[in-house]
Amino acid sequence: MSQETEIEQRVVAVVVIGAILLAVGMALGFGIHKSRPKAKVAPATAVAAAPAIDADGARVVVDAGVVKFYFAAGKADLAVDLSTEVQAALNEAAAAAKAGKKLVVSGFHDSTGDAALNAELAKQRALTVRTVLVGLGVAETSVELKKPEQMTGTGSNAEARRVEVAIAP
């Protein structure tokens, strides 16, 4: 009788330990998942009447075939809504990438604050835009992250806080 009880206790102990390990693993996985930065991507079917402008200044525009993602100071969050023109340009870029072309993604930053932190923020913004492109079905190998020659761009600080997506020739 004591041998059966000992076996039952071992089975219960293994099940309890397994449940604890599963709970700890799920908690860690959830924590890691929540700590990763997420790109705000508008669905491909969303339509807006004009270029999107968030309350914090984030927006997306198309200029001479180049999609420009503008960001609020100190942030890497995308504009929430995308205009029909922007969606069409992104879809065109995705189609070009699927056809074998490279997409060049360059992140710029403004001249205020610490230059090293600004360069890192520009990189994070470029990675966010790459996530959007991958979400549209573009292979990561088709996206080239390129450090721009002039990090601050021209014009105002708001103009400088951007990421550009262009189809490589």
Name which of 8-12, 26-30, 59-63 the model is least confident about. Answer: 26-30
Coil, strand or helix at 70: strand
Domain range summary for the chain, segments of one domain joined by +: 1-36, 59-167
Task: Enter the pTM of the model.
Answer: 0.62
Start-to-end CA distance of the chain, whole Å, equals 80
The CA-atom distances, in angstroms, between 47 and each of 14, 66, 133, 137 are 54, 19, 18, 20
User: Considering just the CA atoms, what is the radius of gyration of the chain in Å?
Assistant: 23
Give yes or no for a contact between 158 and 143, defined as CB atoms under 8 angstroms apart.
Answer: no
Choose among 155, 149, 148: nearest CA to 163: 148
Model pLDDT, residue 104: 92
Contact present, 97 and 143 (Cβ < 8 Å): yes
Number of Cβ within a 10 Å radius of residue 158: 14
Residue 143 has pLDDT above 90, yes or no: yes
The whole-chain average pLDDT of the chain stands at: 76
Q: What is the pLDDT of residue 105?
A: 92
Pick the CATH number of 59-167 from 3.40.50.300, 3.30.1330.60, 3.30.450.20, 3.30.70.20: 3.30.1330.60
Phi, psi of 59 (to 5 degrees): -160, 170
State both tokens at 29. Answer: 């996985």
Distance in angstroms (rounded) separating the CA atoms of residues 69 and 158: 11
- The DSSP 8-state label assigned to residue 53 in this structure reads B
Tens of pLDDT, residue by residue over 74-128, are 888 877 666 787 788 888 888 888 899 999 998 888 878 888 888 888 888 899 8
Residue 60 has pLDDT above 90, yes or no: no
**Predicted pLDDT of residue 111:** 79
Based on the number of CB atoms within 10 Å of its own CB, is 169 exposed (0-12), middle (13-18) or buried (19 or more)? exposed
